[in-house]
Every structure is written in C-alpha cells, then in structure tokens.
C-alpha cells in the first residue's frame, strides 16, 4: 500500500519498534531517546500520563 500510493500523498507513522521493512521504505526515520525525566529524580508519576 505504501509503495503504491500517489507521489503527492504523504504518510506519517508514529510508534515504537517499527519493523525493518517499514524503516527501509521510509524517506525519514527519527529515533528519540530519553535524556532526563523527573521520575528519575524521585518525582511521582502522573496518573493517566506516565503510569
């Protein structure tokens, strides 16, 4: 489906652990990583957001 889409159609896919086949088809792949988080400093997580 992604390979056969019209050239003017842009697709954005988000999420973790993308299959290698999807990564290979993509024009752009961004991987984000945690640098600092308040929970690491002992601040409790926020219900419904972090737990």
pLDDT at res. 20: 96
| Token code pair at residue 8 | 């003017």
pLDDT in single tens digits along all 51 residues of the chain = 888 999 899 999 999 899 999 999 999 999 999 898 888 888 988 888 877
- The widest CA-to-CA distance across the chain, in whole angstroms, is 49
pLDDT at res. 3: 86
Answer yes or no: are the C-beta atoms of 5 and 11 closer than 8 Å.
yes
pLDDT at res. 19: 95
pLDDT at res. 24: 93
40 to 20, 34, 49: CA distances (angstroms)? 31, 11, 16
pTM of the model: 0.59
């Amino acid at each position: 489906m992604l390979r056969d889409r019209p050239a003017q159609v842009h697709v954005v896919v988000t999420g973790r652990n993308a299959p290698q086949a999807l990564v290979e088809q993509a024009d752009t792949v961004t991987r984000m990583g945690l640098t600092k988080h308040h929970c690491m400093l002992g601040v409790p997580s926020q219900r419904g957001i972090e737990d």
